[in-house]
Structure 1
Amino acid sequence: MDNGDEGLDPITPLVFLSFLQHQSGRNEELTSELDALARQLKLTTDINCNGVDGDAEEDGELQTDGHFCYNPRDHVRDLQPAWPADEDVLRNVAAGLIEIADQLENRMVAQAAENLINKLQSSPLQQWKRHLSEEVDRMLKAGLEPWLEQLPRERMVLVLTMTLVKTVCERVPRLLQGLFSSALQCMVTLTAR
């Protein structure tokens, strides 16, 4: 799965997924879409044993090229920062973002979600990132609650993007796969400004 996450650390998609899973049990179709996305993320982080769960044991067998299985990351693992693969840590980070998102003005998010749904349903996938960015920018310019304006811009953008995506996907779950990828791309772009 290409998350378009170049520029993002490998944990951001997992935190975003945890954020979206919060209280999604009420919508069976969304839960099914989130489960499929979780399986895809697990596959992409585990590929070649060098993702978040990269502790696969070597079996000592020769590979088709005649060499033993070797992962150079095994030798530099102690030098690399450890990513918090613990699901409890991911849930705690997502819970903090959820707390902020819960305080957003529902009317503003509902209108932005409706605008975004209409645009996404009549646009090709390649334009979804642009539409999402425009709606997040529109919400930022619309004037936020004073307490939200005190947050760092990066956190505001992440919370608004995640909240908007969650609201859209709760209404139209089939948009999750494409919108998740577009949102990751959008987060890189919007937080870099």
Structure 2
Amino acid sequence: MDTLSDMNRGPNTALVVLSFLQADCRSSEYREELLSLGQIINNKSCIQSFDDGGFETDGHLPSKVSLSDIHPSVELLGLRNPVEAEAIQEIAGELRHIGDLLEHNVVARATQNLSRNILDSSPEHWKNHLTREVERVMREGVGLEHLPQERVIMALTLTLVKRVCEQTPSLLRILFNTTIQYIMALRAR
């Protein structure tokens, strides 16, 4: 799994997103929401039917994955293929690094805009708000033109989602699903 486009196959997208969101969890309420989401994924009951082609619509994951197994410095022990587990951690780590660089430049304002927009609308519009905010930030420039833009967009997206969920943990599950749909739509472009 060398590219982000490889990440978009099967449940890997959800695992990378979950790994990204889990890192450096500061709030106990946010941590509880992440654990709950991980348990739901573990029970194979929350993967909704995505018509985007990347997820199996029956919610089947190839193996049991526990949120407690998803840490930046620990392999995803629940995956059968250790190379794939390591690749998921590596991608999430690279995206977190880019997200850290973005944080200094633009994330605070973009998080505030996204949070305000999603709180003022219904969940079916959240993907549009996320798309518009990521595109606005990318148009204005983030100062990371030396990095692959696909990764910058992905890191920006996940960083914004994480910051909104840290502020309002109750949005995690719906925003997680919205993020997966958004990533799948990016892949389709």
Q: What's the TM-score bracket when you normalise by the shorter of the two chains?
A: 0.7 to 0.9
Structure 1 residues without counterparts, runs of 5 or longer: 1-6, 55-81
Bigger relative contact order, structure 1 or 2 (CA pairs below 8 A, ≥6 apart): 1
Q: Does 1:163 align with 2:159?
A: yes
| Paired amino acid for 1:40 | I
Question: 2:18 & 2:40 partners in 1: Cα distance?
Answer: 11
Q: Indicate how the Cα distance of structure 1 residues 49 and 166 shifts in structure 2: closer, same or farther if over 3 A, else same.
A: closer
Q: What is the RMSD of the two structures over their aligned residues, measured on CA atoms? A: 2.7
**1:138-177 matches, cutoff 5 A:** 138-145=136-143, 148-177=144-173
Question: 1:120 & 1:52 partners in 2: Cα distance?
Answer: 33
Higher-Rg structure is 1
Q: Are the counterparts in 1 of residues 21 and 158 from structure 2 also a CA contact under 8 Å?
A: yes
Using the size of structure 2 for normalisation, the TM-score is: 0.73
Q: Are the counterparts in 2 of residues 19 and 94 from structure 1 also a CA contact under 8 Å?
A: yes
Selected match of 2:92 from 94, 99, 105: 94
- Residue 62 (structure 2) aligns with: 52
Structure 2 residues without counterparts, runs of 5 or longer: 1-7, 48-57, 65-79
- Residue by residue over 1:122-143, the C-alpha shift from the partner in whole angstroms, topping out at 9 and shown as x without a partner, is 1111001000111111111111
Question: 2:82 & 2:150 partners in 1: Cα distance?
Answer: 20
- Residue 38 (structure 2) aligns with: 38
Displacement, 1:53? 0.8
State the aligned residue count.
157
Question: 1:85 & 1:107 partners in 2: Cα distance?
Answer: 33
Between 170-179 and 7-16, report the one with greater CA deviation: 7-16
- Residue 181 (structure 2) aligns with: 185
- Residue 14 (structure 2) aligns with: 13
- Residue by residue over 1:40-91, the C-alpha shift from the partner in whole angstroms, topping out at 9 and shown as x without a partner, is 222228998952217xxxxxxxxxxxxxxxxxxxxxxxxxxx8658655533
Q: Are the counterparts in 2 of residues 18 and 91 from structure 1 also a CA contact under 8 Å?
A: yes
Q: Are the counterparts in 2 of residues 19 and 95 from structure 1 also a CA contact under 8 Å?
A: yes
Displacement, 1:118? 0.9
Displacement, 1:176? 0.8
Q: Indicate how the Cα distance of structure 1 residues 83 and 133 shifts in structure 2: closer, same or farther if over 3 A, else same.
A: farther
Question: 1:11 & 1:112 partners in 2: Cα distance?
Answer: 26
SS of the aligned residue for 1:104 comes to helix
Displacement, 1:175? 1.0
Q: Indicate how the Cα distance of structure 1 residues 108 and 86 shifts in structure 2: closer, same or farther if over 3 A, else same.
A: same
Q: Indicate how the Cα distance of structure 1 residues 140 and 116 shifts in structure 2: closer, same or farther if over 3 A, else same.
A: same
Question: 2:130 & 2:121 partners in 1: Cα distance?
Answer: 12
Question: Stretches of 4+ moved more than 6 A in 1?
Answer: 45-49
- Residue 115 (structure 2) aligns with: 117
Using the size of structure 1 for normalisation, the TM-score is: 0.71
- Residue 29 (structure 1) aligns with: 29
